Amino acid sequence: MRLKDILKTKVQKVWSVRTDEIIQDALSILVNNKIGALLVFNEHEHVVGILSERDIMRECYQNGTEWAKSQVEKVMTRRVIVAKPEDEVSYIMGIMTQNRIRHVPVMDGTTLVGVISIGDVVKAQLKDSQYENQYLKDYITGV
């Protein structure tokens, strides 16, 4: 299975913030939409980072009571690992595991086509294994 197959079944809304917004506003988007990360765009509408719950927790710990006023640009993860729609799900699962990340933007060239979460990847892997198990059962029983 490829990432483009997962993206066909997902809601295509990608939540984001800008570099100059404050963490309190970003946290509000995360909580209200029950998501774990936001893409960060600069003034030219380019992806320049990703802001996760983990990034915000780290800022809370390091900055005490002033964390909510910190700018997204200061707290975000700048090294964004991206995937392509043609990438295999198993490949991305390995990348996510190796880099200890839970969200990967999917880019077709310079165009953002979606975001894949570790939950999406696990769900796709389970679906594939269930299909394969059923196929093997049918084969063995001659159905």
For 136, the token pair is 């093997």
pLDDT tens for 37-84 read: 999 999 999 999 999 999 999 999 998 888 999 999 999 999 999 999
pTM of the model: 0.82
- Residue 98's domain spans which residues? 3-141
Query: Cα–Cα distance between 56 and 70 in angstroms, integer?
Result: 10
Residue 128's CATH number: 3.10.580.10
The answer to whether 89 touches 6, Cβ cutoff 8 Å, is yes
pLDDT tens for 72-98 read: 999 999 999 999 999 999 999 999 999
For the chain, the domain total comes to 1
Query: Cα–Cα distance between 44 and 35 in angstroms, integer?
Result: 25
**Residue 71: beta bridge partners?**
22
